[in-house]
């Protein structure tokens, strides 16, 4: 299964979740209807005078229950509308500053940044649950743009670097597979059902208070006694129905979650190439009876988000959201017992079928750029995949970047100046007068200093520096961001020549930040085939063709080959004036509204186009990286060799 199939599978799982949710709601409606009719016949009308079937009353009960559950669900989802950061804060998390000097926190940030650069995903916000002494971690969010990764204080202090890396790799797998959006919806659903249980408790409590009042006033008639019994039975029924609904919801939660945990473990081992790291973390959890338990009051409803079970009860075997620790360890580090080896082989096969993979079994069609095994299929297979080599290379790259530049990427004011300096450095510009007039003097001076350092730095550092600046730039105020964005756009527009790196920055950086500072929504899918995308594909492939060292016509034909039977006949190689960066930007906005199968073919055409001359320039890599980000299918820079 590749990245696109994994994303579609996550959407199908959402459909199944909605189906089971509707079954649970129907069950609750029928149960409450039966209870209310029974109480009416028993206490008010007499069993012989009324029928069990009353369509009008069924509609009333249905409306009240649906309104109650929907309100509870929407309330919780709205509470978590900011994505991963909302979940982390609800659990009592503290955001880790990018510039932290604490050794443990710095180690955690380094691991997260390595994983992000290696995978092509935006660097997520990082949180620590300071009050939680047990070992656990989570990933949460609606998508990659608002993702957050959190670890407990116990995980931070008790795990080695290899063990912590294994845990973070496990959480990144959930981000890749689109599990996070499903997980947040599960939280909303469970809260909606929980409201029924809470209403029952409120009814019971109101009766207790009212009985106390009547005792003091010595007024107790038969009619009020009947009403009290009705309310008591109704309250008790709602508590039981709500609790059964919660159990059913937890069963849905566990059914969806358990298998994903096995797959995430297998992915973490693939990413880090170190089964001992993940197994070590699981072993430390297993040494305690409740080694991953979370004390926060939201532990139960959010148990499926965590690395290991955060909540335990007598019914763990029925609806635990995670497989037993022992089985997880055996799955990634089996003994030499033949039965265990067969189990591992079966798990590997299932992992290849159900997890995002690079399709290593596919034959290479010829290498390029000095890499014999590198081919369009290999690059396409790298989308949404963390490879052990990529992680190692990302770590080495971060170590090579000078401390001054990394420090700038982790400080709010300096991060702004760093982005400006990166754009000026790629266009080989000095700081123009208009820039000094439009920014604060401190930012101007810092930009000048960083520009001098970047002029001596390898170009390969530039994009990673922009990527690791994301978390600190998200912490700007809305006014600060608008000012920063305005200056950034001015630098791009006032450049003497079209700057492909500037375009990449705009797509990679501003797209992520716009999500954080505005209510920008994902584009609605409008294109399920190429018949309506002839012009947009012509613009994009033409722009890439002119970057080729071969003649543009050859590059165009190479890009056209994978989709020649899909494009409309009017698609053609355009002139340079017809495929400027501005026109490419407009085309990408439309291409982003395509379905996953269409996006897969779009990226295949792109890769074949830049592959045509067997040489990948840095500009081609950066432009392809930016296009893939705009399509929500990030290709890591490491995939290009």
Q: Pull the structure tokens for residue 441.
A: 């003097």
Helix (H) or strand (E) holding 16: helix 3-39
CB contact at 8 A, 503 and 583: no
Question: Coil, strand or helix: which one is 317?
Answer: helix
| Residue 594 φ then ψ, to 5° | -95, 160
Q: In angstroms, rounded to a whole number, what is the distance separating the alpha carbons of residues 283 and 291? A: 10
Rg (CA), the chain: 28
Q: In angstroms, rounded to a whole number, what is the distance separating the alpha carbons of residues 463 and 469? A: 10
Q: Pull the structure tokens for residue 131.
A: 């009050």
Q: In angstroms, rounded to a whole number, what is the distance separating the alpha carbons of residues 321 and 312? A: 10
Helix (H) or strand (E) holding 498: none
Helix (H) or strand (E) holding 127: strand 125-129
Q: In angstroms, rounded to a whole number, what is the distance separating the alpha carbons of residues 388 and 115? A: 10
Q: At what angle do helices 618-630 and 534-545 cross, to 10 degrees?
A: 160
Q: At what angle do helices 388-400 and 222-272 cross, to 10 degrees?
A: 80
CB contact at 8 A, 512 and 469: no
Beta pairing, strands 125-129 & 94-95: antiparallel
Cα–Cα distance list, 437 to 196, 444, 479 (Å) = 61, 9, 18
Q: Pull the structure tokens for residue 502.
A: 């500037």
Sorted by sequence, the CB contacts under 8 Å of residue 625 that are 6+ apart come out as: 120, 463, 504, 508, 634, 635, 636, 637
Question: Coil, strand or helix: which one is 595?
Answer: coil
Of 105, 125, 171, 506, which is the active-site residue? 171
CB contact at 8 A, 447 and 424: yes
Q: In angstroms, rounded to a whole number, what is the distance separating the alpha carbons of residues 399 and 397? A: 5
CB contact at 8 A, 522 and 604: no
Q: In angstroms, rounded to a whole number, what is the distance separating the alpha carbons of residues 294 and 298? A: 9
Q: At what angle do helices 552-560 and 534-545 cross, to 10 degrees?
A: 140
| Residue 140 φ then ψ, to 5° | -145, 155
Helix (H) or strand (E) holding 81: none
622 is catalytic: no
Cα–Cα distance list, 357 to 5, 90, 119, 267, 435 (Å) = 10, 33, 13, 9, 46
Q: At what angle do helices 222-272 and 161-176 cross, to 10 degrees?
A: 110
Buried b (16+ CB within 10 A) or exposed e, 156-187: bebbeebbbbbbbbbbbbbbbbbbbbbbbbbb
CA 61 to chain centre: 38
Sorted by sequence, the CB contacts under 8 Å of residue 353 that are 6+ apart come out as: 1
What positions carry a catalytic annotation? 171
């Amino acid at each position: 299964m590749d990245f696109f199939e994994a994303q579609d599978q996550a959407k199908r799982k959402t459909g199944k979740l909605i189906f089971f949710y509707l079954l649970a709601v129907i069950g609750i409606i029928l149960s409450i209807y039966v209870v209310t009719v029974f109480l009416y016949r028993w206490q008010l009308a007499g069993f012989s005078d009324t029928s069990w079937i009353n369509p009008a009353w069924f509609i009333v009960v249905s409306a009240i229950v649906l309104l109650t559950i929907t309100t509870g669900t929407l309330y919780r989802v709205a509470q978590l509308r900011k994505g991963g950061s909302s979940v982390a804060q609800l659990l009592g998390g503290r955001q880790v500053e990018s510039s932290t000097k604490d050794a443990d926190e710095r180690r955690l940030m380094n691991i997260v940044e390595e994983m992000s650069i290696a995978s092509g995903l935006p660097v997520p916000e990082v949180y620590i649950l300071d009050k939680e002494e047990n070992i656990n971690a989570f990933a949460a969010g609606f998508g990659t743009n608002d993702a957050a990764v959190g670890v407990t204080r116990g995980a931070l202090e008790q795990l080695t670097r290899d063990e912590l890396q294994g845990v973070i790799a496990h959480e990144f797998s959930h981000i890749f597979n689109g599990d996070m959006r499903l997980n947040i919806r599960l939280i909303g659903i469970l809260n909606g059902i929980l409201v029924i249980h809470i209403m029952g408790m409120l009814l019971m409590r109101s009766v207790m208070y009212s009985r106390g009042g009547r005792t003091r006033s010595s007024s107790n008639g038969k009619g009020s006694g009947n009403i009290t019994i009705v309310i008591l039975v109704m309250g008790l029924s709602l508590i039981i129905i709500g609790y059964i609904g919660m159990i059913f919801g937890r069963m849905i939660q566990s059914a969806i979650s358990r298998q994903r945990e096995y797959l995430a473990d297998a992915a973490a081992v693939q990413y880090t190439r170190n089964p001992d790291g993940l197994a070590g973390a699981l072993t430390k959890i297993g040494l305690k009876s409740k080694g991953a338990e979370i004390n926060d009051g939201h532990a139960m409803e959010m148990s499926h988000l965590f690395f290991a079970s955060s909540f335990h009860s007598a019914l763990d075997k029925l609806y635990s959201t995670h497989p037993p620790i022992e089985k997880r360890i055996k799955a990634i580090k089996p003994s030499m017992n033949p039965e265990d080896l067969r189990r591992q082989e079966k798990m590997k096969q299932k992992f290849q079928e159900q997890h995002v993979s690079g399709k290593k079994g596919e034959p290479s069609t010829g290498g390029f750029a000095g890499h014999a095994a590198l081919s369009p299929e290999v690059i396409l297979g790298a989308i949404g995949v963390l490879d052990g080599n990529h992680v190692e290379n990302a770590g080495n790259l971060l170590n090579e970047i000078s401390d001054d530049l990394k420090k700038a990427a982790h400080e709010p004011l300096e991060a702004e100046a760093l982005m400006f300096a990166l754009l000026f450095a790629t266009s080989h510009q000095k700081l123009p007068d208009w820039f000094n007039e439009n920014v604060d003097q401190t930012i101007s001076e810092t930009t000048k200093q960083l520009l001098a350092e970047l002029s001596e730095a390898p170009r390969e550092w530039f994009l990673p520096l922009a990527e690791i600046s994301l978390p600190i730039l998200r912490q700007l105020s809305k006014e600060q961001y608008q000012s920063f964005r305005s200056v950034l756009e001015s630098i791009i527009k006032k450049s003497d020549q079209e700057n492909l790196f500037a375009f990449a920055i705009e797509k990679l950086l501003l797209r992520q930040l716009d999500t954080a500072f505005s209510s920008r929504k994902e584009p609605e899918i409008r294109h399920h085939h190429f018949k309506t995308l002839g012009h947009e594909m012509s613009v994009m492939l033409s722009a890439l063709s002119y970057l080729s060292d071969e003649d543009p016509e050859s590059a165009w034909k190479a890009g056209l080959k994978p989709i020649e039977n899909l494009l409309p006949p009017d698609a053609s190689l355009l002139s340079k004036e017809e495929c400027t960066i501005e026109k490419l930007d407009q085309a990408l906005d439309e291409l982003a509204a395509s379905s996953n199968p269409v996006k897969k073919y779009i990226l295949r055409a792109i890769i074949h186009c830049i592959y045509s001359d067997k040489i990948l320039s840095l500009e081609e890599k950066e432009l392809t990286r930016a296009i893939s980000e705009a399509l929500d299918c990030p290709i890591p820079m490491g995939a290009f060799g």
